[in-house]
């Protein structure tokens, strides 16, 4: 055994013993020969086997480490230090936030009690370390998600209030309703081609913020014009057209925002959440719109204006993202590049053809539905809003189950069958005379929304997987220009058809058969979508083959 050199405190027992500064004096013990320095082990001549202890320690385990089972005896300072260690190193914690006594199983540990309250594992005072769950998509996406949810609720109010305002306040005809509905999409063929090129050269986040502010002003003009007495159909047409133009630029940035703030493997989950919140907004929106319109009248549109302000505030609170994309080529080259990309890629080409066919008939159904409900069936504003809300529950269910269906059957196959079923359920309006109008609208729109959510959840990731990030702006802009450019014509044709058929058939049958014809036309979108899944599978196999097979040594790689 090695013995260290004697220090000033090791001359022997008695007064030469050193004591740490600030320590309390200890009473003299009856035993002599105890070493007074640091740990010395067993020294010759010492009286018994004694080990040095710091002042305040007892035999065995130190007092600070020994568990005490009384109430409120655990030192607060030590608990704070341990909680800091748990937060820094992600150590497992007991329900009370402090590690349990040694030798005791975790399942038998009792919650630590302080201030007369039991602290459970998930209570407000619990000490479990809060770590980021795998399903958490980050603060940036959560702000984006919250702003969009509030904004979509406001949009539902405007979509509900504008045709209601035209029918009951301005006493507009079906043709005038169709013209204003056309204004919602009129900016797509005019601004759509250049929107993607310009957004690529602008800051995306700032662009979306400015678009929210422009839409806020345009919506607020409608109730102000009504109160001042100069509200008219042309003014509504102009306000809706301005909202449409700002929405075009906003939507281009919207599709770029999700891959900018979310990892690639989480995009389907992110789109599912966005579709889910949109479906919830569709569930609550018509009821809220009907209640607000019944209570406030035209002033209900101010709620939509406030929703755009909330959305802009969320974008303002996000960390900077979406800087200008450095791309080569002039504006005209980038403008035409988006159309070439959508047509050259076999998957994108089929998605474009399916979407164009769908939008040739779908807007006819949506435009004529308020005319059918209010004038053909005599439904009140409250009943129509409640029916739309109950029916939109299906849209929420579709957003929830669409990712699982897509994983099980493939995105392309799910997209194709959702297109077909989405259109066929619209034929339920033919049951309107035989069954009550409210349940018919609710069930029809519920199934309609369920498959529409499946289409949206599967379509966006499919298109984004076919194009690199620097080309997605022009690709999405060209896609929306082609596919949404037919919507104004379809909405106008729906109003014209009802106006032409009202004389010989009556308003009820004219609206019903016009909606049925548009639905059957939209059902043809199923045909070009059939080959999407086969091409996605072929592309996936082509990506795996270079890694799974060894390269040929006799021929150079091509």
Rounded CA-CA distance 138/257 in Å is 13
Looking at the DSSP assignment, which residues form a beta bridge with residue 117? Answer: 114
User: What is the model's pTM?
Assistant: 0.57
Rounded CA-CA distance 253/202 in Å is 10
- Reading the block at residue 514, the tokens are 């016009």
Rounded CA-CA distance 230/222 in Å is 10
| Cα dihedral sign, 131-135-139-145 | negative
Report whether 437 contacts 511 (CB < 8 A): no
Report whether 260 contacts 200 (CB < 8 A): no
CA torsion, points 124, 127, 129, 135, in degrees to nearest 10?
A: -30
Superfamily covering domain 139-540: MFS general substrate transporter like domains (1.20.1250.20)
Rounded CA-CA distance 246/220 in Å is 15
DSSP state at residue 318: S
What is the residue whose two structure tokens read 């596919």? 483
pLDDT tens over the chain, length 558 residues: 444 444 444 444 444 555 556 555 555 554 444 444 444 444 444 444 445 555 554 555 554 545 454 444 444 454 454 455 444 444 444 434 434 444 444 444 444 444 433 344 444 444 443 434 445 667 778 888 888 878 777 777 888 888 888 888 888 888 888 888 888 877 777 887 777 778 777 877 888 889 889 999 999 999 999 999 888 889 999 999 999 888 888 877 777 777 777 777 777 778 778 777 766 676 666 777 778 888 888 888 888 888 899 888 887 777 655 555 555 666 677 778 888 888 888 889 999 999 999 999 988 988 888 888 888 888 888 788 777 776 667 877 887 888 888 888 888 899 999 999 988 888 887 787 778 888 888 888 888 888 988 898 888 788 877 877 667 777 877 888 888 888 888 888 888 899 889 888 888 888 888 988 999 999 999 999 988 888 888 887 887 765 444 444 334 333
């Amino acid at each position: 055994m090695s013995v260290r050199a004697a220090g000033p405190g090791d001359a022997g027992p008695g007064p030469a013993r050193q004591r740490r500064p600030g320590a309390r004096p200890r009473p003299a013990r009856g035993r002599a020969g105890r070493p007074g320095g640091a740990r010395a082990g067993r020294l010759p001549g010492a009286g018994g086997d004694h080990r040095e202890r710091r002042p305040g320690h007892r035999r065995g385990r130190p007092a600070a480490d020994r568990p005490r089972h009384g109430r409120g005896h655990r030192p607060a300072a030590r608990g704070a230090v341990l909680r800091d260690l748990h937060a820094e190193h992600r150590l497992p914690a007991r329900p009370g936030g402090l590690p349990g006594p040694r030798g005791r199983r975790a399942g038998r540990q009792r919650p630590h009690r302080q201030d007369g309250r039991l602290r459970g594992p998930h209570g407000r005072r619990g000490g479990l370390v809060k770590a980021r769950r795998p399903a958490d998509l980050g603060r940036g996406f959560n702000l984006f998600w919250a702003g969009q949810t509030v904004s979509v609720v406001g949009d539902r109010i405007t979509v509900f209030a504008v045709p209601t305002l035209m029918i009951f306040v301005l006493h507009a005809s079906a043709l005038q309703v169709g013209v204003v509905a056309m204004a919602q999409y009129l900016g797509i063929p005019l601004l759509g081609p250049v929107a993607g090129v310009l957004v690529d050269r602008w800051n995306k986040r700032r662009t979306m913020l400015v678009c929210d502010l422009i839409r806020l002003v345009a919506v607020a003009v409608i109730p102000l014009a009504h109160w001042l007495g100069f509200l008219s159909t042309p003014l509504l047409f102009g306000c809706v057209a301005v909202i449409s133009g700002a929405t075009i630029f906003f939507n281009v940035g919207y599709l770029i925002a999700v891959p900018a703030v979310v990892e690639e493997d989480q995009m389907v989950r992110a789109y599912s959440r966005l579709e889910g919140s949109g479906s919830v907004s569709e569930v609550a929106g018509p009821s809220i719109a009907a209640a607000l319109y019944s209570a406030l009248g035209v002033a209900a549109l101010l709620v939509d204006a406030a929703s755009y302000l909330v959305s802009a505030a969320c974008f303002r609170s996000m960390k900077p993202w979406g800087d200008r994309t450095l791309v080569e080529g002039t504006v005209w080259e980038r403008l035409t590049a988006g159309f070439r990309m959508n047509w050259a890629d076999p998957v994108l080409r089929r998605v474009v053809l399916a979407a164009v066919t769908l939008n040739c008939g779908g807007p006819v159904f949506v435009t004529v539905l308020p005319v059918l409900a209010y004038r053909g069936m005599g439904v009140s504003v409250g009943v129509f809003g409640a029916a739309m809300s109950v029916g939109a529950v299906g849209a929420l269910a579709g957003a929830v189950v669409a990712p699982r269906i897509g994983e099980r059957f493939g995105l392309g196959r799910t997209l194709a069958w959702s297109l077909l079923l989405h259109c066929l359920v619209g034929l339920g309006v033919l049951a309107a005379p035989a069954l009550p109008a409210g349940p018919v609208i609710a069930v029809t729109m519920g199934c309609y929304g369920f498959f529409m959510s499946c289409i949206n959840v599967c379509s966006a990731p499919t298109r984004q997987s076919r194009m690199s990030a620097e080309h997605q702006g022009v690709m999405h802009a060209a896609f929306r220009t082609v596919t949404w450019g037919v919507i104004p014509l379809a909405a106008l044709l729906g109003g014209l058809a009802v106006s032409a058929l009202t004389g010989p058939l009556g308003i009820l049958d004219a609206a019903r058969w016009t909606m049925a014809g548009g639905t059957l036309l939209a059902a043809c979108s199923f045909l070009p979508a059939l080959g999407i899944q086969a091409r996605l599978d072929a592309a996936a196999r082509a990506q795996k083959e270079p890694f799974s097979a060894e390269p040929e040594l006799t021929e150079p790689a091509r």
